[in-house]
């Protein structure tokens, strides 16, 4: 199941095997062997692949109960993803302040468009 899910996730994003291999630090042939089921990645590599595809390890290995929540937003830009991760780890007071600032910025930009 792991190899099937890996291929599905890659194709869903329109990525080529060599692109994925480069992102996770393996050769294209190694990644191809993972997808073809000829080799099994170790648990650390499975974690790396799950993180890249923004899914859980459980999902990758075939546990259908572990599908990501409905409201998951996939962010492909690494800098933006890192920003959102930091926001989610911030204290609630800081997040509320950031939301107030964002609303202010949106209102300001809408006013300048008029």
What are the structural domain ranges in the chain?
Answer: 2-65, 78-113
User: What are the residue ranges in the chain where pLDDT is below 70?
Assistant: 64-72, 112-114
For residue 24, what are its two tokens?
């996770």
Q: Backbone phi, then psi, for 39, in 5-degree steps? A: -135, 150
pLDDT tens figures, 89-111? 777 888 889 989 999 998 877 77
pLDDT score of 90:
75
pLDDT score of 89:
76
37 sits in the region (left: phi over 0; alpha: psi -120 to 50; else beta) called: left
Is 2-65 in CATH node 1.20.1250.20?
Answer: no
pLDDT score of 74:
74
Q: How far apart are the first and last CA of the chain?
A: 54
pLDDT score of 72:
64
């Amino acid at each position: 199941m792991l190899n099937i899910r890996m291929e599905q996730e890659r194709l869903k994003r329109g990525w080529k095997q060599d692109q994925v291999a480069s992102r996770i630090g393996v050769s294209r042939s190694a990644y191809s062997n993972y997808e073809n089921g000829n080799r099994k990645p170790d648990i650390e590599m499975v974690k790396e692949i799950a993180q890249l595809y923004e899914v859980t390890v459980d999902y990758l290995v075939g546990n259908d109960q572990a599908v990501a929540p409905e409201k998951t937003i996939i962010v492909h830009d690494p800098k933006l993803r890192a920003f959102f991760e930091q926001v989610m780890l911030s204290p609630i007071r800081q997040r509320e302040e950031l939301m107030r600032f964002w609303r202010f910025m949106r209102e300001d930009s809408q006013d300048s468009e008029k």
